[in-house]
Structure 1
Amino acid sequence: MKPLTIAYLPIGVGTFHLESAEAIFQESREVLHSFNLPIIAPNHILLTLEDVQTFLQDLDPQYLIIQNVTFANSAYTAQIIRHCNVPVILWSVPEPIIDGGRLRLNSLTGAYSAGNILASLSHFSPLFLYGSPHDSATQHQLRIYLKAIEVKHQLQGMTMATVGHTPQGFGFGQAMESELLRDFGVMLINTEAGNLMELAKSISDDKAKAYLKDHTQMMINMETLVPNNVINFAKLALVYQDYVKTNHIKALASRCWPDFFTNFGTPVCAVLGVLNDLGVAASCEADIYGALSMFIGIQLSGQAVFFGDPVSIDQEENTMTYWHCGTAACSLAHPQTKATMGVHPNRKIGPVMDFGVKPCENVTVFRIGRKPDGKPRFFIMEGKVLDKPKQFQGTSAVVQVLPPILTLTQTTIEAGWEPHFVIIYASVVEELKALAKLLGIEICHYV
């Protein structure tokens, strides 16, 4: 993967008020450097087409920040796109003084001019930014855009894996390798669940016990489970972690039932929870887009995310309960109960995670969906995880949402959304929207 490179192009013409323009340029460059990202900036405003060409001639950036420090006609942007047709943050700044006198910068007209030519020539819709560089709101929006750029760059350099295939009737979790590469830049590899089971069977009990001693401190109630199942869990965990490390996998979608119960005698649920705590997005039921959604959530929030089915609504509290059999990361457990272990609710075999998750004032419910025509879309919704105990055997989160819950349920079912969603423990709505624009993906924001 090529290293991330962002080029900052402050464009303008010399007939405007260059003293004001120079102040904007210096402040902007200082702010951009404060983000500690590989942003390449010129030493002066690019006031001519020759300046633009000279600055870009030895650069091959993946992203651009085009700032109209003053007005510049569309030839400037055309020159830039001719050199590198990549995603653009288009930045316009306000007039420094409005006093009935001279129009000093005319940046906004320049942004319209740039936006017009970008619509004709660029493969990407620009992310528009308006504001002075010293304004905290401008810096916040810029931070959102740059974070979305970082995540897109991570997607385009990542490998994800499937372990086995989806159970019958769970085809919504499948993905074409070509579509993942086309829409996200993600490479997909696969192995059979049976391969990892056989590897797990070959691991010695002593090695498994050593793993349990070193890696299960966060897990409560493990001693009440069948010892052989606990040993098998450790063996599976070792094999999955080795597979992930060896193949440089950032996200994994694993088959779970019935194979791990019938062919191995121990569920894989808790193993996936462990991977999530290690920063590897891991979904069950071989849901590839679910795992990819988890990966994005982890990158945006810097912590584990919850993966679950919508299973229950409460109209009085305006909540949706999300639940799954027991794959949640230990770090998500409610601090009062901690990461309690139990048995699978249907198969009665452990270990699986068995707890309600910790509350959070601001979460984002997210899903990469796949429309019937194969095109992706983003489900985005704000919410709040309430301080609730475990709702059902397994792991659960009770999320209070903004839209009327019954209307939301009806609308999303009729719209054909998949029955797996991700709860991100952070407010990242704007980052997700920016990422969707960078990827050219439809945004479905439920408010």
Structure 2
Amino acid sequence: MSKFQVAYIPVGVPTFHLESAQVEFEKSIKTISSITEDGVYPDKMLLSIDDLCSFLDMIDPGLVILQNITFANSAYASEVLKRFSCPVLLWTLREPVIDGGRLRLNSLTGAYSAANALMSFRDGNFEYIFGGPDEEKVKAKLQAAIKAAKLKQDLTQLKMASVGHTPQGFGFGRALDIDMLNTFGVTLDSIEARELIDQAKAYTDEDCEEYLKEMKGCTVGLEKTPDQNLKDFARLCKAYKDYVVNNNIGALSSRCWPDFFTAFGTPVCAVLAMLNDLGVAASCEADAYGALSMYMGMNLTGNAVFFGDPVSLDEEENTITYWHCGTAACSLAHPAEGAQIGVHPNRKIGPAMDFGCKPCEKVTIFRVGRKADGSFRFFLSSGEALDKPKQFIGTSVVVKTKNASIDVVNQSVLDGWEPHFAVIYGDVKAELEILGHMLGIEICEY
């Protein structure tokens, strides 16, 4: 696994005001260092092609921050681009002084030269920011670009699993391994649900005691579940966790109904909830792109992500309710109620999660979707998770959307989006927009 590097590449020529450039050089390193521990920096400004090449020989970046510390012609950018295929953030500095005297940096003209080369090499696929290293908008863009580039690299090291097939009529979540690899760099494995069911049946009660203890420690009301269902849950939990650990799985989508009710007698809902709390993005109804959406949100925030259907709309409150049968992570439960245990709303068998989710001032609604022609697109919307009780049997979160909720619903239905979404606890809209641009994927904001 290659280490992620953020390479700061300040290029220029020695005929401009180097005292001013040196100040910006030092401030830029300080700013980048305050954002990431993964930065690599030259010892000095790169004021010749030879200096540039010497530094490029030493690095293997996941993101290049190409800064015109002064003017530099396109040969500098071209040298970077012919060596590396990673994302590029082009950074232009402000002129430090405008007093009718000497042009000190001329960074902006250099940016045009670099951008012209980037257009030729990358067809415009690069990020851009204008401003000084002390400006908050610059810091925010640097941070978002770094996190997006890190996620892009992490995707190439992600191994996902599809456990079973999507139910009839749920084909929108079915993924091909070659599509995952080609677009996202993700490796996708597949296993039949019956294989994990058979493995679960083979365990003894003693094999699985730790999983029941863990579940009792983070939930409320588990004792209401019949003893056999509790034992079967623990068996299933061990089967899934062993598979995830033994195969280095970072995200999975799992078939749920009807197999786990008819062939096993106990739902998989609570098992997926526990995986989500363990940092393994786990979606139900075998929605691979839903699991991928969850993984991206978890990677960017370090927190569990809610997965569910938009089921209710309130125009006056300007809210959309997202709900699912009971797979939400325990850590998402409202602290006043805790992670309540109930039964599956349709089959009336437990254990399944049954609670309203905790509030959050800023959430991001996200989906990796596919259009009818097979091309990918990102759904993005922002809002606030309100302090609301459970809305229906199962797990739910009520989101007050930044834009009119009726417009979000109307337009996304007309645009043919899939019915599963990730509600990410945190504002990561900028990062996902940049990631989409880096991957060449259409961004659809609502």
TM over 0.5: yes
Q: How many residues align?
A: 446
- Whether 2:10 is the aligned partner of 1:10: answer yes
Written as runs of structure 1 = structure 2, the 5 A alignment for 1:203-282 is 203-282=203-282
List runs of 5+ in structure 1 lacking aligned partners: none
List runs of 5+ in structure 2 lacking aligned partners: none
CA distance in 2, matches of 1:323, 1:135: 40
Q: CA RMSD in A?
A: 1.3
Instruction: Name the structure 1 match of 2:371.
Output: 371
126-135 or 103-112, larger mean C-alpha shift: 126-135
CA distance in 2, matches of 1:137, 1:409: 31
Contact 1:361–1:384 at 8 Å: present in 2 too? yes
CA distance in 2, matches of 1:216, 1:99: 70
Secondary structure of the structure 1 residue equivalent to 2:46:
coil
Written as runs of structure 1 = structure 2, the 5 A alignment for 1:16-415 is 16-122=16-122, 125-415=125-415
Q: Which amino acid aligns with 2:399?
A: V
128-137 or 106-115, larger mean C-alpha shift: 128-137
1:405 deviates by 2.0
1:410 deviates by 1.6
Instruction: Name the structure 2 match of 1:422.
Output: 422
Q: Which amino acid aligns with 2:109?
A: T
Percent identity among equivalent residues?
54
Secondary structure of the structure 1 residue equivalent to 2:363:
strand
1:408 deviates by 1.8
Q: Which amino acid aligns with 2:93?
A: V
CA distance in 2, matches of 1:410, 1:137: 33
Q: Which amino acid aligns with 1:260?
A: F
CA distance in 2, matches of 1:51, 1:211: 57
1:123 deviates by 6.2
1:58 deviates by 4.1
Contact 1:282–1:291 at 8 Å: present in 2 too? yes
1:216 deviates by 2.6
1:167 deviates by 0.3
CA displacement, residues 369-425 of structure 1 (integer Å, 9 cap, x when unaligned): 111111111111101111111111101111111222222212101111000000011
CA distance in 1, matches of 2:367, 2:250: 17
Secondary structure of the structure 1 residue equivalent to 2:328:
coil
CA distance in 2, matches of 1:124, 1:178: 26
Q: Which amino acid aligns with 1:292?
A: L
CA distance in 2, matches of 1:36, 1:114: 25
Instruction: Name the structure 1 match of 2:443.
Output: 443
Contact 1:88–1:124 at 8 Å: present in 2 too? no
Q: Which amino acid aligns with 1:19?
A: E
TM-score (norm 1): 0.97
TM-score (norm 2): 0.97
CA distance in 2, matches of 1:23, 1:395: 53
Contact 1:311–1:321 at 8 Å: present in 2 too? yes
